Amino acid sequence: MVNKKSLELFRQIRVEVAPETFNLVSLRREDWLKLLENPELSPRMSAPFMILSDKWEVTLLLDEIDFGTIRRAIQDAKTQGNFRLLSFDVELDFNVVGSLAEISRILAEAEISIVALSAFSRDHILVKQKDLAQALKVLSEYIAELC
């Protein structure tokens, strides 16, 4: 059951599905540093991308074109592909609690696995291409607009 505060927020949300297919890449820090030495391997800046560096790895989210550009340079990297990016187009304050948890719960009940991503003011999720139609169908029961 979706909580009442989340339902009110969800009625304002427009979910946008990026047209690109994406790949997640896990790099060792030393491999990341080698990539940085070659500017031709940088993302094009015309499609969404993400770089997250933590103490265990460097994770990249790249569309198929940018992934193809770096693929030969990262042959030892762990990769997962065929993701679609869903962006929740509502600007969230930092006092909003549980919206991504509710979306995750709704999709989990439909047995749809996600990768959650957050930017400064908006949340995003990755779903496998094979699960996209079902994810949109399930979310359509709660979300104001899907496009």
Q: Give me the pLDDT at residue 51, please.
A: 94
Average pLDDT, stretch 34-40? Answer: 88
More confident residue, 117 or 93: 117
Provide the 3-class DSSP secondary structure of residue 52. Answer: strand
Q: Which CATH number fits domain 22-81: 3.40.50, 3.40.630, 3.30.300, 3.30.70?
A: 3.30.70
User: Nearest-CA neighbor of 58 among 29, 23, 18, 78?
Assistant: 29
Q: Give me the pLDDT at residue 114, please.
A: 97
Contacts of 24 (CB under 8 A, 6+ apart): 59, 60, 61, 79, 80, 81, 83, 115, 126
Average pLDDT, stretch 129-137? Answer: 96
Residue 39: is its pLDDT beyond 90? no
- Asked if the 4-20+83-146 domain carries CATH number 3.30.2130.10, the reply is yes
Provide the 3-class DSSP secondary structure of residue 6. Answer: helix
Residue 28: is its pLDDT beyond 70? yes
Average pLDDT, stretch 40-54? Answer: 89
Highest mean pLDDT among 8-12, 33-37, 111-115: 111-115
User: Nearest-CA neighbor of 11 among 133, 143, 146, 147?
Assistant: 143
What distance, in Å, lies between the first and last C-alpha atoms of the chain?
24
> Would you say 88 and 123 are in contact if contact means Cβ atoms under 8 Å apart?
yes
Q: Give me the pLDDT at residue 109, please.
A: 95
Q: Give me the pLDDT at residue 107, please.
A: 96
Q: Give me the pLDDT at residue 87, please.
A: 92
Amino acid, single-letter form, for residue 47: A
Average pLDDT along the chain: 87
Torsion sign over Cα 109, 144, 21, 65: negative
Enter the tokens of residue 4.
């009442």
More confident residue, 82 or 88: 82
Provide the 3-class DSSP secondary structure of residue 4. Answer: helix
Q: Give me the pLDDT at residue 41, please.
A: 87
Q: Give me the pLDDT at residue 94, please.
A: 66
Neighbours of 33 (CB within 10 A): 11
Domain ranges, ordered by start, for the chain:
4-20+83-146, 22-81
